[in-house]
Amino acid sequence: MLPTPTKFTLVAGTGEGHTPLNAFDQALLAAGAGNVNLLRVSSILPPGARYAERVILPPGALVPVAYGALKSATPGERIAAAVAVGIPESGFGVIMEYSGRTSREEAEKTIRGMVEEAFDMRGLSLVTYRVKSVEHEVVMAGAVFAGIILWY
């Protein structure tokens, strides 16, 4: 099987560019995840994975990540992304992602409810909760990104 990640960190960033993909690229750079190959996963924190304030990602590495993101080419629009993880007393954690045409505060409120619902569905009790979010007002083409990097 593929190696299961053993570390995690939360990252987020916003970006502007001439195209939505360039704005997204800039948001990844701002988040410190712009020079790797993101491999999107859905979205469980492996049991025993340790939190790291920062992780060092070699350029071009294949990096598992759960994320919420949104691109917009509507000048003036406010967009937000959030990611959160809930961790029980022991065992795996549950990651939720969210993005929308809304504020960072609303995004954080929504995602808190999502993590709580995911814990309820599994009959788990939430012990540790971490969240990261960003918002951005689009100038030309904008993007928001919030992710949990699963690393080794």
Active-site annotation, residues:
37, 42-43, 97
Which CB, 79 or 118, lies closer to its own copies?
118
Q: Which residues contact 4 (CB under 8 A, 6 or more apart)?
A: 46
**Alpha carbons 132 and 127: distance in angstroms, whole number:** 17
Single residue of 98, 130, 138, 149 touching its own copies by CB under 8 A: 98
List binders of its own copies among 122-151 (CB under 8 A).
Answer: 122, 150-151
- Residue 123: exposure state from Cβ atoms within 10 A (0-12, 13-18, ≥19): exposed
Span interacting with its own copies, options 38-46, 76-84, 101-109, 130-138, rule CB under 8 A: 38-46
What are the Cα distances from residue 2, in Å, to 10, 62, 64, 143, 152? 22, 12, 11, 31, 12
Q: Which of 123, 137, 128, 140 is nearest to 14 (CA)?
A: 137
Q: Which of 103, 20, 82, 6 is nearest to 51 (CA)?
A: 6
Confirm or reject binding of residue 44 to its own copies (CB under 8 A): yes
CB of 22 to its own copies, least distance (A): 5
Element (H, E) at 27: helix 20-31
Confirm or reject binding of residue 59 to its own copies (CB under 8 A): yes
For residue 22, the one-letter residue type is: N
List binders of its own copies among 17-36 (CB under 8 A).
Answer: 17-19, 21-22, 25-26, 28-29, 34-36
Which CB, 103 or 124, lies closer to its own copies?
124
Binding site for its own copies (CB under 8 A): 1-5, 17-19, 21-22, 25-26, 28-29, 34-47, 49, 58-62, 64, 66, 91-92, 94, 96-98, 110, 113-114, 117-118, 121-122, 150-152
